[in-house]
Amino acid sequence: MPVMVEARFSVSATAVDSRLYVCGGDNSDGALSSVECFNSLDFTWEEMPHMVQRRSSAVAVALAGHIYVCGGYNGQQYLSSVERLGIATRKWQASPPMGRPRAWIAAAVVADVIHCCGGHDAREEIDMVERFSVMEESWTAWPPMCQQRAGGVAAVAANCLHVCGGYDGSQPLSSLERCEPLSGTWSLLLPMAVARTVSAAAVVSGCIFVFGGESAERRAIDSVECYDISSGVWSSGPPMLQARFSLAAAAALSM
């Protein structure tokens, strides 16, 4: 695989069709505003317009022809701000902010609504969930998760929001919880074999894949776990070539 133009960690990433967008992050000089796009058809990276704000440990989702980047940390403070990139226009613009500044959020889109779950708000790990409606251009509160967690990952499978892993303020988590989209009811499911935080996740063929992360021993992990939605069972996947944490993943079409 070709390397990115700029080395970075604590990035946010999302995929649109055959392209993977990597936004912000951190390096030895601090939080970044730069953005890169990987084309899975020709295996090339392209530099994109910079975000308005520098931000690491933010979260990115794709919705309605835009890439939304929410929250994060700019090196001085936690952010509630949100900005979006028009994929066609290649321009960034401000979007309504979240109700609470936070980083290390887990986020996903369910029924054309962005769900931002948990995170760290400079004081503690939180279980708070906020939803953003593109139609109404506003954020609303949603029932909190079963557990406080920052650095968890979110994925949508079988039309339900799933959040797993993360850090609860004392230890990494192996737990997985699911939210029913209509009632907002959260329930705990079978946990992962390995507790991990700041990992990455993607959904492929009805399975949630969780990659890498940081262990309870504060070591980078190369292991991969796969949750089969139909059977409700976790299995081990092939390990990554490199152990890594504060990474990002997304499923991009290759054809």
SS (H, E, C) the chain: CCCCCCCCECCEEEEECCEEEEECCEECCEECCCEEEEECCCCEEEEECCCCCCCECCEEEEECCEEEEECCECCCCECCCEEEEECCCCCEEEECCCCCCCECCEEEEECCEEEEEEEECCCCEEEEEEEEECCCCEEEEECCCCCCCECCEEEEECCEEEEECCECCCCECCCEEEECCCCCCEEEECCCCCCCECCEEEEECCEEEEECCECCCCCECCCEEEEECCCCEEEEECCCCCCCCCCCCCCCCCC
Candidates 3.40.50.150, 2.120.10.80, 3.40.50.300, 2.40.170.20; CATH matching 12-237: 2.120.10.80
The model's pLDDT over 175-209, given as tens digits with 9 standing for 90+, comes to 999 999 889 999 999 999 999 999 999 999 999 99
Write down the pLDDT at residue 254: 47
The model's pLDDT over 20-71, given as tens digits with 9 standing for 90+, comes to 999 999 998 999 999 999 999 999 999 999 999 999 999 999 999 999 999 9
Write down the pLDDT at residue 253: 60
